[in-house]
């Protein structure tokens, strides 16, 4: 490849240099030089190495901080978003500033955990049954109607096709209202990527993991 279309900062978090470990050792987490990192990202775009630059897992606080010194604002913020984690505050914030949202785990990231709040959601099950659609399609259609893009993942050919069949029908106002009332539950926290032992110093994960509804 000569260039990337889009290059993202994965998390607003930095680790000490060295081979990565997983789970991450708490003592390896260091304060992120946001200005320095974003400056280097901007340089990548100026050099033509990437067409656009963006961030991932950034809260409104983290975006506020970044926008204070950014010459090029982030084109995209890729975050967990689906009907059980609707990101109202972040969505509004990004829309006002022209930052596009890409939803990750649009189906609740079923592969990684045994249970899945989204796939088990009764409201979505009922809407799907009434419309003759799958629960996955209802979830993806809802995201599409929110004006965000999404990265849905499947290793199954039929499900890949199913996930594309969301463009020639729509949710009703009543269905949208029911979805807006679904209890909210976030799945992915930075804290969960850290080892249990050791101590965290110099950086507040709570600042990264702020829950914004
Ligand atoms: N930026 C970040 O920090 C971040 C964090 C997490 C994930 N991501 C990215 O987001 C993308 C997707 O995330 P994800 O894997 O967490 O979540 P996801 O796309 O919500 O869920 C994937 C799971 O859903 C299943 N699935 C797909 N289509 C389906 C359908 N129509 N009906 C039923 N099940 C279906 C898949 O199983 P089958 O394969 O068996 O179909 C797989 O187990 C990935 O590219 C990932 O790298 C980014």
DSSP symbol at 90? H
Q: What is the mean pLDDT of residues 21-26?
A: 88
Is the model's pLDDT at 70 over the cut of 60? yes
**How many whole angstroms from 83 Cα to the centroid of ligand 1?**
14
pLDDT band with cut points at 50, 70 and 90 for residue 182: very high
Q: Which of the listed residues 79, 151, 153, 166 should we mutate to test ligand 1's pocket, taking the one with most ligand atoms within 8 A of CB?
A: 153
pLDDT band with cut points at 50, 70 and 90 for residue 189: confident
213, part of any domain: no
Q: What is the pLDDT of residues 114-135, one digit of tens each?
A: 578 999 999 999 999 999 999 9
Q: What is the pLDDT of residues 45-64, one digit of tens each?
A: 999 999 999 999 999 999 99
Q: What is the mean pLDDT of residues 77-103?
A: 97
Q: Which of the listed residues 105, 128, 165 should we mutate to test ligand 1's pocket, taking the one with most ligand atoms within 8 A of CB?
A: 105
19, part of any domain: yes
Mean pLDDT over the full length of the chain:
92
Question: Strand pairing partners for 194?
Answer: 24
CA pair distance 74, 66, nearest whole angstrom:
9
Q: Which atom of ligand 1 is nearest to the CA of 78?
A: 1
175, part of any domain: yes
CA pair distance 213, 211, nearest whole angstrom:
6
Indicate which CATH number applies to the domain containing 145: 3.20.20.100
What is the domain range of residue 140?
Answer: 4-207
Say yes or no: CB of residue 152 within 6 Å of ligand 1.
yes
212, part of any domain: no
Query: Which tokens in the block code for residue 51?
Result: 């067409």
201, part of any domain: yes
Say yes or no: CB of residue 57 within 6 Å of ligand 1.
yes
DSSP string computed for 131-160: HT--HHHHHHHHHHHTT-EE----S-HHHH
DSSP SS3 for 6: strand
State the greatest distance between any 2 C-alpha atoms of the chain, in Å, as a whole number.
53
75, part of any domain: yes
**How many whole angstroms from 171 Cα to the centroid of ligand 1?**
22
**How many whole angstroms from 201 Cα to the centroid of ligand 1?**
32
Say yes or no: CB of residue 153 within 6 Å of ligand 1.
yes
Say yes or no: CB of residue 78 within 6 Å of ligand 1.
yes
148, part of any domain: yes
Q: Write down the pLDDT at residue 164.
A: 98
Q: Which atom of ligand 1 is nearest to the CA of 152?
A: 19
57, part of any domain: yes
| Total of domains in the chain | 1
Is the model's pLDDT at 200 over the cut of 90? no
Q: Which atom of ligand 1 is nearest to the CA of 155?
A: 39
């Amino acid at each position: 490849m000569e260039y990337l279309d889009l290059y993202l900062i994965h998390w607003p978090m930095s680790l000490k240099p060295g081979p990565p470990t997983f789970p991450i050792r708490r003592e390896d987490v260091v304060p992120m030089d946001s200005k320095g990192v974003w400056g280097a990202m901007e340089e990548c775009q100026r050099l033509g190495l990437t067409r656009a630059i963006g961030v991932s897992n950034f809260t409104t606080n983290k975006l506020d901080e970044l926008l204070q010194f950014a010459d090029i604002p982030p084109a995209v913020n890729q975050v967990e978003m689906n009907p059980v984690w609707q990101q109202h505050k972040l969505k509004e914030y990004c829309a006002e500033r022209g930052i596009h949202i890409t939803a990750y785990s649009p189906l609740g990231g079923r592969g990684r955990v045994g249970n899945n709040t989204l796939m088990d959601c009764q409201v979505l099950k009922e809407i799907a049954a009434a419309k003759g659609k799958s629960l996955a399609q209802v979830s993806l259609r809802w995201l599409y109607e929110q004006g965000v893009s999404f990265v849905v993942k499947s290793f199954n050919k039929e499900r890949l096709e199913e996930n594309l069949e969301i463009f020639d029908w729509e949710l009703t106002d009543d269905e949208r209202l029911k979805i807006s009332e679904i209890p909210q539950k976030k799945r992915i926290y930075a804290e969960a990527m850290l080892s249990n032992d050791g101590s965290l110093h110099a950086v507040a994960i709570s600042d990264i993991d702020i829950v914004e509804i």
